[in-house]
Structure 1
Amino acid sequence: MFQDITVKELLELQSSKKITLIDVRSPSEYKDSTIPGSLNIPVFNDEERAEIGTIYKQVSVDAAKELGLAIMSAKLPNFVKQFKEIEGDKAVYCWRGGMRSRTAATVLSLMDIHVNRITGGIKAYRKYVLDTLEQKSLDADAFVLHGLTGTGKTAVLRQLQQEGYPVVDLEGLAGHRGSIFGHIGLQSNNQKTFDAELVERLKQLEDSPYLLFEAESKRIGKIVVPDFLMKKKESGAAIVLELPMAERVRQILEDYNPAAYKEQYLAAFQLIKNRIHTPIAAEIGKSLEEGRFAHGIQLLLEHYYDPKYNYSFSQYEDSAPIVVAVDRVEEAVEAVKDILRSRMRHKTGA
């Protein structure tokens, strides 16, 4: 027989053993939000779920259950086979820990495949995430990466994260670069996914003596950054990256790839063109239209992004930022490493 466990019990089990989480909701529900790291083995696909829902509303509950049983019966062999291929402990869940997860767990139990079932489902997990973020405070020191657009802040952070540094990549979690052009070429996450991924990342770093993240605004696209991180940004040690204009333009071309998404960039530019002096805006638009992206980007930096950033940074509390002036992003990575090592040695007295 399967065993019911709460989200709290799941977290306690995960601290001592590996548990494979299986979301048995439909693919579109899974895509919208899930528990990070979960697999999707749906009891019903999107079309089947919609059909059952229609019968439930227009005919009766019993008729919907009968249709669900017929659909499930036909796919049982493959459903069970997928679970058999997963080694170790497993836990299944659906939206509220109801019919779908109970059906899956019961069928698997009959086939001698033991699973746990998460009571409350993804709804209970979402409550845990929101409660965690509401009550969260960070005791670890913070190093906050600042710099004009194109100074490679994200590239530096991601390289450091690959090397095992305690980075919280807020743009990566949001699936958005933070500017009016920030969504282009990316799969943006919704707030639910961002929140869940953030909680998981902070859990991974809870024993780190410091955290490293970028100086984001309160909003990254449609994502809202929690207040405790914004407060940490204001109180953290500021590291300001400075790169030559030519390198900044090169970095933006590499990160944003405007040649591949020309029409989308032109459309996004229309949203901010009225904030730029008319002759300059016209030249930027013409440059983008003609594929002279480097020239257009430099004008955008000089006449829109740099003045906007300089005003924003002038409001920042840290009066003594650590300035890293280098020629290449690769040099910035090494410089930030040196700063972190030096600060940590000083703090520990080593």
Structure 2
Amino acid sequence: MKVSALEIPITRTNQSRLPEVDFNNLPFGSVFSDHMFLADYYDGAWQDARVVPYGPLSLEPAAKVFHYGQEVFEGMKAYKDKEGQVWLFRPLENQRRLNKSASRLMIPELPEAIFMEGLKTLLRTDSDWIPTVAGSSLYIRPFLFASGNGFHASPSDRYTFVIATAPSGAYFAGEVHVRIEEKYSRAANGGVGYAKAGGNYAGQFYPTQLAKEAGFQQVIWTDDNTHEYIEEAGAMNIFVRIGDTLLTSPTSDRILDGITRKSILELAEAEGIPTEVRKISVSEIVEASKKGQLKEMFGAGTAAVVSPISGYGYRDERFDLPEVADSYATFFKKRITDIQYNRSEDPFGWRYPVS
């Protein structure tokens, strides 16, 4: 199904909320732009693509998303350079991953044309909402959910696709200390851990709160079977630097195939940084800490890009990470954000212009 920008009707808001926004003091993901993009699936096809004012969605109590959790989402950002040009970062990777998540939850896949043309139409409509303050961006949340009705446990016959946006400042601030989790699991083999399904994140909140009560900001998840191997850091992929070698866990049924993760691995290869994608045991990390060989740990994801970890706790021990002059975390964050904001060349073809 081909959808061009000219075929997407736009209903503009009567009064913009833009004058109310302090772009110098933006929280993350809680101030919303004037418009949103919608499309509906019914009668076996995606249709009715449109841009409308941002506002409540009307659903019946029997909507299946409430009862059986058919919902998946993505996280993206739009950037504006000094000349006012708007850019996306590897958006087709998000579109493909959204469909991978949708297939796992028996949600109809979304045509690329609807995703991309809807996104570009929305960004052109709300271009003034894209921040130009350093470190800020327009966070983009595409999501799919079951909007059909029924209490019977079966896939819905109707779905809704939404793209909403929020001008946002930095995701994390300050030092981040994490606890290596030994009891609770983020995901299991054969499950939906690799999908960006809302339930994956809901299940994280309780153990993360327990970690916060113990003095940590986040959790490092371990494998569901033995809890011997680290897998993710909070809602991000995790990287570990032992000596000069960069390590990260392989993707699996349990681990999200992060776009920032892919980008870091490609950058590392291009820069000749030694990299290993393999299982990383907790004991290896603890031993490296005690020997002074653990130089860095950091999370990687769309919201934070790269989030350095200052220290971690395991059982009754706590370990601080050193400050290193040649930080990989700092290097990767700068290289990626320079590409995103059009401050440098893009030899990988990751930057996508919104004309």
| TM-score (normalizing by structure 1) | 0.23
Determine which structure has the larger helix proportion and give its number.
1
Rg larger in structure: 1
TM-score (norm. length: structure 2): 0.23
Higher RCO (CA 8 Å, separation ≥ 6 residues): 2
